[in-house]
Amino acid sequence: MKTVSEVDAFAAAAHAGQVDKIGVPYIEHVRAVAAGLAPFGDELVMAGLLHDVIEDTDWTAEQLRGAGVPDYVVALVEAVTNQRGLPYEEKVARITGQGRDAVLLKIADNAHNSHPDRAAQLPEEKRVRLAAKYRAARDVLWPAVIDRDIAAIVSIVNPALLDELRERRTTQAGEAQDG
């Protein structure tokens, strides 16, 4: 079985030369996602490091397993990997049916993709479009897990989302009193 440091080195090699939407080495994104998952154990950290490997490199799930990545970690990566022809909204909805850990993985990815420092470097039209896309995804993902887990992730990856989490709690509490 691979260790977290071995998976980190593997992810760095797999994403070597890749940059994200703002020109930052891609490994920084997957490491940020993994950091947000540290409170949930090594398997989730590994999944965070590998969450885009199948989608954005030539690696397949079977090759990952053959390289010694634990089956559970590969299953989580598969759960969040885009499928051709499947709209993003359907992908997010599908993830909520894959279990708590898959949802937490996608929440960490969403949180980092939504980080204000990253968004500020995008052209305004793209920034507005992605902000709406990621907010809509949180509307689906966040109700699928407990607030404490969301807070644990976003406090590490994107503390700006803590305000949104508090707003949701307040809104839900008000709706519960009205209902």
Q: How far apart are CA 92 and CA 151, in angstroms?
A: 19
Q: What is the pLDDT of residues 32-63, one digit of tens each?
A: 999 999 999 999 999 999 999 999 999 999 99
What count of Cα atoms within 13 Å lies in the side-chain half-sphere of residue 45? 13
Considering only CA atoms, which of 32, 30, 65 is closest in space to residue 50?
30
- Identify the pLDDT of residue 96: 97
Considering only CA atoms, which of 22, 4, 3, 8 is closest in space to residue 123?
22
Q: How far apart are CA 122 and CA 125, in angstroms?
A: 8
pTM (2 d.p.): 0.93
pLDDT band at 74 (very low <50, low <70, confident <90, very high): very high
Q: What is the pLDDT of residues 98-124, one digit of tens each?
A: 999 999 999 999 999 999 998 888 899
Active-site amino acid positions: 55-56
Q: What is the pLDDT of residues 3-40, one digit of tens each?
A: 999 999 999 999 999 998 888 999 999 999 999 999 99
Q: How far apart are CA 177 and CA 154, in angstroms?
A: 27
